[in-house]
Amino acid sequence: MTFLEKLKHNIASELNLNENLFIYPQESHLGDLSFPCFILAQEKKVKPLELALSLAQRAQNNESFKEIFSKIEAAGPYLNFFIKNSYLAPFVLADIKKEKYNYGFLKKVEAKTIMIEYSNGNTHKEYHVGHLRNISYGEAVKNLLITQGNKVIPVSYINDFGIHVAKTIWNWRLNPVYEERPEAKGFLLGKCYSEASKKLSDKPELKEEVAEVMKNIEKRSGADYELWQKTRAWSINYFNDIYTELGIKFSKIFYESEVIAEGLKIVERLLEQGILQPSQGAIIADLNAYDLGVLPIIRSDGTALYPVADLALASEKFKQYNLNSSIYVVDVRQGQYFKQLFKVLELAGYKQPLIHLSYDFVTLPEGMMASRTGNVITYEDLKNKLVEKLLAETTSRHKNWTPSRTEKISRSLAISTIKFEMLKVGAEKTITFNLNEASRSEGFTACYVLYGYARLRSIIRKSGFSFSLSMPKLSLLDDPREKEILLKIAKYPELLQTATEKYNPADLIKYLFELVQMFNDYYHNCNILKADKDLKLARLSLLKHLSQVLINGFKVIGLEPLEEM
């Protein structure tokens, strides 16, 4: 149990209350902890105000509460508790000192095994800003699930066998100049695909040539298949480089080309069972009885659609791993598709929970993106522009730094900026990515949060303070700003729990931003290094424990803590 959980349990036991009903008041003059009396008053058939007054009197007469709370009072239908700093600080900081990097983690006797699938890119296409939202969101949700004691298996599914591949290979053959260009081949394939899409849009009669390339690839022999093998390797290497830069590691990467054959076998079985039906030469899942419409499985020309591979992939997941649930992180446009897919899997006998975590689009200030038109910000373009901008700013601040040091910090900041922007709003909201706004050092940005952390660490370094020192006189921490910080870091474990339950890393981003704001306010208004010795040590202890909470939160959302910037 955390400090606040123990405190709520203690109050509830003494006053016979439901500990799950406590809330945290938004304003400090309303207390640090509050119990709304509405539900209990209804049960007891009394007015909430009367009940609050009665409970306040009982609490005020409780001897054990006198050393914990400076004040207990009724405010309308609420029973409000004001915690003494002298009681709050030792317990909260002791929890953090004991747990360190595991502070906030929930320990479960039996861990659930959860698979989460994200970063489902397409080979032969650009890796763009939209993909960055997927991978940042998926990685953060994975880390949140781990904090709650789950065993989490991160996987990715790469579409390397669709019609987009045929379009790219068809256009690559028509333009030998691509082989001679100096850019990374994985990056060039995306440019080639966009160009192919434009050509086919202008001359749809050329689609027959693309269909022929697709058939050649599916036969797994011949020149088109050999070019597919070579270009596929370029794309995969390109993706792996991006994963390395972003600090992402998957336990397993599935490829459509490796599961499609098994998917076709599953389709045959589901046809025999009547779960799928033939329809005008095609194969479908008629889900009208469940108000889910019709899901096409196989085209009338015999080529496979997305569900074929997805059925095989689901089967493979549950065959290889003993999963309690499987999560798919895919954009909001696929919501209906996943409802249909999950229903087919349910009819096929899969009973484990299947969850579609959707997220909205990433747009540019000038409008929507689309790979087929080339109207995208690619990962490479975005990263390079951010690095260039941050490099200039870092160089101007630290003229004495070596070029390699400046570039390393700038690149780390660029990656953190990307992740922060992809996570700072809820998944249900659209992101309009503005590079200039994202890289500002003030406001709700990664640079602001990381700069605050670097300043905090600089104070600790100058002082030489260490966790190995004995706990100082924490009773000296009586400034209201100190109490605000103590309460904030005490709430971190509960914040992780609620963010995980909602699959919402934006809550954690907001928390970290607010925590840095509190530190900055504290730094500007309370003397730390020049305070009297005992007070200085108490304040440094507070900052040391605060920095640990920030480090832990950064790890969950994938930011690299920078000691200097």
User: Does residue 209 lie within any of the structural domains?
Assistant: yes
DSSP readout, 62-112?
-HHHHTTEEEEEEETTEEEEEE-HHHHHHHHHHHHHHHGGGTTPPP-SSPP
- Name the pLDDT band for 228 (thresholds 50, 70, 90): very high
Q: Are residues 153 and 75 in the same domain?
A: no
Cα-based distances in Å from 36 to 19, 25, 71:
11, 10, 17
Q: Contact, 415 vs 560, CB < 8 A?
A: yes
Q: Are residues 187 and 317 in the same domain?
A: yes
Check residue 30 and give its pLDDT: 96
Check residue 375 and give its pLDDT: 60
CATH number at residue 239: 3.40.50.620
CA atoms of 76 and 37, how far apart (whole Å): 9
User: Does residue 96 lie within any of the structural domains?
Assistant: no
Check residue 131 and give its pLDDT: 93
Lowest mean pLDDT among 200-204, 208-212, 366-370: 366-370
Percent above pLDDT 90 for the chain? 88
User: Does residue 518 lie within any of the structural domains?
Assistant: yes
- Residues 327-339: what's their mean pLDDT? 97
Q: Are residues 72 and 143 in the same domain?
A: no
Q: Are residues 190 and 69 in the same domain?
A: no
User: Does residue 62 lie within any of the structural domains?
Assistant: yes
Q: Are residues 356 and 413 in the same domain?
A: no
Check residue 126 and give its pLDDT: 86
What pTM was computed for the model? 0.94
Check residue 469 and give its pLDDT: 64
**Token pair belonging to 304:** 């496979």
User: Does residue 372 lie within any of the structural domains?
Assistant: no
Which helix (H) or strand (E) segment holds residue 339: the answer is helix 335-347
pLDDT digits (tens, 9 = 90+) for 272-308: 999 999 999 999 999 999 999 999 999 998 888 999 9
Domain boundary among 21, 56, 83: 83
- Residues 510-516: what's their mean pLDDT? 98
Long-range contacts of 73-77 (CB under 8 A, 24+ apart): 73/31, 74/49, 75/30, 75/31, 76/48, 76/49, 76/52, 77/36, 77/37, 77/38, 77/41, 77/48, 77/49, 77/51, 77/52
Q: Are residues 289 and 252 in the same domain?
A: yes
CATH number at residue 74: 3.30.1360.70
- Residues 465-477: what's their mean pLDDT? 80
Kindly give, in sequence order, each residue whose CB lies less than 8 Å from that of residue 254, ignoring residues fewer than 6 positions away: 155, 156, 157, 158, 313, 316
Check residue 528 and give its pLDDT: 95
Q: Are residues 538 and 474 in the same domain?
A: yes
CA atoms of 155 and 170, how far apart (whole Å): 30
CA atoms of 330 and 309, how far apart (whole Å): 15
- Name the pLDDT band for 29 (thresholds 50, 70, 90): very high
Domain boundary among 363, 387, 408: 363
| 3-state class (DSSP) for residue 258 | helix
Q: Are residues 228 and 255 in the same domain?
A: yes
Check residue 83 and give its pLDDT: 98
Check residue 370 and give its pLDDT: 52
- Name the pLDDT band for 128 (thresholds 50, 70, 90): confident
Q: Contact, 251 vs 139, CB < 8 A?
A: no
* Structural domain total, the chain: 3
Q: Are residues 354 and 475 in the same domain?
A: no
pLDDT digits (tens, 9 = 90+) for 36-66: 999 999 999 999 999 999 999 999 999 999 9
CA atoms of 529 and 464, how far apart (whole Å): 11
- Name the pLDDT band for 526 (thresholds 50, 70, 90): very high
Angle between the 379-397 and 129-147 helix axes, to the nearest 10 degrees?
80
Percent above pLDDT 70 for the chain? 97
Q: Are residues 135 and 279 in the same domain?
A: yes
User: Does residue 78 lie within any of the structural domains?
Assistant: yes
CA atoms of 347 and 334, how far apart (whole Å): 20
Q: Identity (one letter) of the amino acid at 211?
A: A
Average pLDDT value for the chain: 94
Q: Are residues 318 and 176 in the same domain?
A: yes
- Name the pLDDT band for 449 (thresholds 50, 70, 90): very high
Cα–chain-centroid distance for residue 353? 20
Which residues constitute the domain of residue 494? Answer: 379-557
CATH number at residue 400: 1.10.730.10
Q: Is the pLDDT of residue 373 over 60?
A: no
Domain boundary among 57, 83, 109: 83
Residues in the chain: 565
- Name the pLDDT band for 464 (thresholds 50, 70, 90): confident
User: Does residue 462 lie within any of the structural domains?
Assistant: yes
CA atoms of 522 and 482, how far apart (whole Å): 8
Check residue 368 and give its pLDDT: 54
CA atoms of 297 and 294, how far apart (whole Å): 9
pLDDT digits (tens, 9 = 90+) for 255-275: 999 999 999 999 999 999 999
Beta bridge partners of 370: 375
User: Does residue 562 lie within any of the structural domains?
Assistant: no
Q: Are residues 340 and 242 in the same domain?
A: yes
Largest CA distance in the chain: 88
